[in-house]
Amino acid sequence: MRCLIVGGGGREHALAWKMIQSPAVETLLIAPGNGGTAAMAAATSRVRTVPVQDGDISGLMDLVARERIDLVVAGPELPLTLGLADACAAAGVPCFGPVQAAARLEGSKIFAKESMVAAGVPTAGFAVFDDAAAARAHVLARSAPMVIKADGLAAGKGVVVAGTREEALEAVDAMLGARCFGEAGARILIEDALAGEEASLLALCDGEHVVPLPACQDHKAIFDGDTGPNTGGMGAYSPAPILPDASLQAMCDLAITPIVRLMAQRGAPFKGVLYAGLMFVDGQPFVLEYNVRFGDPECQPLMARLDCDLPAVLLACCQGRLTPEMLTIRPESALCLVLASAGYPGDYAKGKIITGLDVAETVPGVTVFHAGTRLEDGQVQTSGGRVLGVTALGTDLAQARDRAYAAADHIAFDGKYCRSDIGMKGLRRLGLA
């Protein structure tokens, strides 16, 4: 099989690492990839990276035709919201990832909320605005905290959890007034703020059948104790004690399956991985958002735990023949610790030399996935805010965590930053911290 992975982050390196373990994969292309996938390509002729960007749908489709690709795996949401899966369908090539009409679940937060209401999925109360004066009046008529969200994709910056009315008004003015996110903020949501603990539930879908993956917990804030601005995710682990395996199916029936049914009824069946961002409030789950792709970093501990043939499972999703038996998960825990560049999620330096990667991988159970790196003259350098995902398997969460931190100690680059408390919420819930 000839496969193409689209994207260039830690998620895509982890997918590539798992895909190439399958003997069925004769050739694996990654577009555009990163320093980690470039190193894979240097090590084996089965892997190649190609400099086509994830938003360049016609460039990607040229590649699919030229390379006679049998399976396209979309990593990020951008190509899906731009219609990559639709273009693949037109070309008769299976694509893991939903068509544009279903990718709106991530591309439009208003569409997602309206879909949740239509499907009976529990979510925070909300109101929709396209007029700044009406939105301001709504803010003034209610009490803080509240959450202001730009409707469209805003590079992960479109959500403001406002602790005061003033902050909420500022966000309204920035989005609807100054159009800080352009058309992505031409409509906004004003949502009730929920207080609780978050978890990520991802499920594979083939348009009709839904199979949950084990639960993960991400760490979105930049600093310890979940403080400071939100990032793409500073670390993740699986399983997550907040959502034990025994309740996965019930949670999936509540948060994912109704949406998959709704999309099928609407003539836009969801094929790919649907990710529900959950908030547990006094034990009660609410869906905060949907993503139409693997989470990053969540994908990294998930790939570490996956113990089956990934391309076969992804192809089954594309072809409507997904069954729970296809999925085998290792019983071990996995934890991914993100090493970031100082300053992220604000400005940060690039081009810093990274050392210690080989030594880090001598720690048992450890794989270092690359996110913002590039390979330059045989040297790995930083090229992004989230640089590496140090991912460890362990017999339990405590061992996975110890191994990831031990491996991370071996890695050095100027401005290396990581949180010191990844996994601690899980350990506390287990009574181990």
Residues that bind ligand AMP (CB under 6 A): 124, 147, 159, 161, 191, 193-194, 198, 220, 230, 277, 288-289
309 touches which of ligand AMP, ligand GLY, none (CB within 5 to 8 A by kind)? none
147 touches which of ligand AMP, ligand GLY, none (CB within 5 to 8 A by kind)? ligand AMP
288 touches which of ligand GLY, ligand AMP, none (CB within 5 to 8 A by kind)? ligand AMP
70 touches which of ligand AMP, ligand GLY, none (CB within 5 to 8 A by kind)? none
Shortest spacing between CB 206 and ligand AMP, in angstroms? 25
35 touches which of ligand AMP, ligand GLY, none (CB within 5 to 8 A by kind)? none
Shortest spacing between CB 156 and ligand GLY, in angstroms? 7
298 touches which of ligand AMP, ligand GLY, none (CB within 5 to 8 A by kind)? ligand GLY
295 near ligand GLY, rule: CB under 6 A: yes
Q: Which CB sits closer to ligand AMP, 159 or 334?
A: 159
The single residue among 298, 309, 332, 421 that binds ligand GLY, judged by CB under 6 A, is: 298
296 touches which of ligand AMP, ligand GLY, none (CB within 5 to 8 A by kind)? ligand GLY
Shortest spacing between CB 135 and ligand GLY, in angstroms? 25
Nearest Cα neighbor of 318 from 44, 69, 31 is 69
Count CA atoms within 13 Å of residue 297 on its CB side: 33
Piece of 163-171, 295-303, 322-330, 342-350 that binds ligand GLY (CB under 6 A):
295-303
The single residue among 86, 218, 332, 421 that binds ligand GLY, judged by CB under 6 A, is: 218
Shortest spacing between CB 340 and ligand GLY, in angstroms? 13
291 near ligand GLY, rule: CB under 6 A: yes
231 near ligand GLY, rule: CB under 6 A: no
Shortest spacing between CB 77 and ligand GLY, in angstroms? 9
CB atoms under 10 Å from CB of 310, counted, come to 22
